[in-house]
A and B are shown apart, each in its own frame.
Chain A
């Protein structure tokens, strides 16, 4: 999980900068040949984003989406971990949940959102939809993690008479942590996409998706793109925060040194 250092990292940064520059250049060139409704130039979108940044309504939208995403993400982590641990430990539980998870996985996001809109208020739909869409990812990862627990360590725990609590705290939990984190990382990205999509369709009072929807109705393409950029930034920021915080959960991975006899 640690990034490469030295010349390797510099090269990587250079590649990212170069590809971003190419993307912006292509965008700019295409925008010169079509109307601003089809594709406004990057500068216009950037200016719009700066304008947004000073508006209270934008802050409210961002805050509302953020809260929904966080709610959805943590509910999914909690549910997914419980179901994943049970399904990984007991074949019967796995058999019980397998068809359900398979169906959820195959269900189009939009069906979930539309159905949820019938059942819930608009503000709750994005949370519900994101939980449902990310649940299989978290569950699957945690379940695999439980199955991959080192049998040799379990034998050791058996010989030394670990209590069920000790076994859970000192073997199961640490063993599934890397699997849980990789599931959580995928779920996080998915969460923002589903939350914004659900907001577009259900138009709650505040939300990035709501803003996007209104911009689209007004054929304000720069606005749609500016809202999109804010969603991307939100997602990127959450990924960054995630990567900064997760090493705290695995202290043994932070230190690496070796000693001879």
Chain B
């Protein structure tokens, strides 16, 4: 997938804010691209353009798939439907029989460790379990692209680690082109195939780093990851001083 010559601006009380100006980015198929950058640098705007919530003024997105799933900062589950029903609702477009849909929903819940909780309403679960359900839904929908907007941020560290691990397990089983917006460098190092560092607006790419090590064997203390981490930190700090 490729983003070509993208331009997008917003009108603000202080004038026009150009978020993207002739912006280009390549998103390798079936890889996870993590995007790091200062807050307000257009990361979420990019996701919303990719999802189709926002329309760009110029430029094109080449190879954008039809079916997209989105992991938001919040779980965004329907509070009045059980977790299993929430997942079933994203399957319904496929027109399969109810029994098969229930089976599919339970399968994905099983994969995120919530096999026993299908009949619970979201408010009966903890925040981490709700976000797990949202992850199950994102994969159940059989999308070709996954957009992630800091979906692990609202959680405690140990919860976050277990959630990230669940996510990686699921992703390895059902890989899809993924754009992962985060401001946590270590999360990006653990999860991504490619890390892209954005500048302030109008966004440009300060650096792109590829991580070749297999996701399952990664450790934050590995020399490859430490060296990428150092370079990313340098870029983020340099820009902060300007």
Contact = CB atoms under 8 A, between A and B. Distances in A.
A156 B70 contact: yes
Interface stretch (B125-133, B168-176, B194-202, B210-218): B125-133
A50 B81 CA distance: 49
A159 interface: yes
Given A162-B89, A258-B126, A259-B126, A156 B80 contact: no
B72 A156 contact: yes
B53 A261 contact: no
A152 B72 contact: yes
Given A159-B69, A252-B80, A259 B124 contact: yes
B127 to A, nearest CB: 9
A256 to B, nearest CB: 7
Nearest to B120: A259
Contacts of B123: 252, 256, 258
A250 interface: yes
Interface residues of B, number: 31
A163 interface: yes
A251 B129 CA distance: 21
A161 B144 CA distance: 14
Contacts of B229: none
Given A161-B93, A166-B89, A259 B78 contact: no
Interface string A56-71: 0000000000000000
Contacts of A251: 80
Contacts of A114: none
B67 interface: yes
Contact of B89 (A158, A170, A256): A170
Contact of A170 (B69, B81, B117): B81
A163 B159 CA distance: 34
B54 to A, nearest CB: 11
B68 interface: yes
Contacts of A163: 92-93
Interface string B69-85: 11010101011110000
A260 B125 CA distance: 7
A257 B81 CA distance: 15
Interface in A156-180: 156, 158-163, 166, 170-171, 174-175, 177
Contact of A261 (B70, B89, B137, B159): B159
A23 B78 CA distance: 48
A159 B70 contact: yes
A259 B132 CA distance: 13
B81 A261 contact: no
A219 interface: no
A161 B124 contact: no
Interface in B82-102: 89-90, 92-93
15 contacts: A152-B72, A155-B53, A155-B76, A160-B89, A161-B93, A162-B89, A170-B78, A170-B89, A174-B81, A250-B80, A252-B81, A255-B124, A258-B124, A260-B126, A261-B129
Interface of A: 152-153, 155-156, 158-163, 166, 170-171, 174-175, 177, 250-252, 255-261
In the A-B complex, the 8 residue pairs with the closest CB atoms: A174-B80, A156-B76, A160-B90, A252-B121, A159-B70, A261-B128, A252-B80, A261-B126
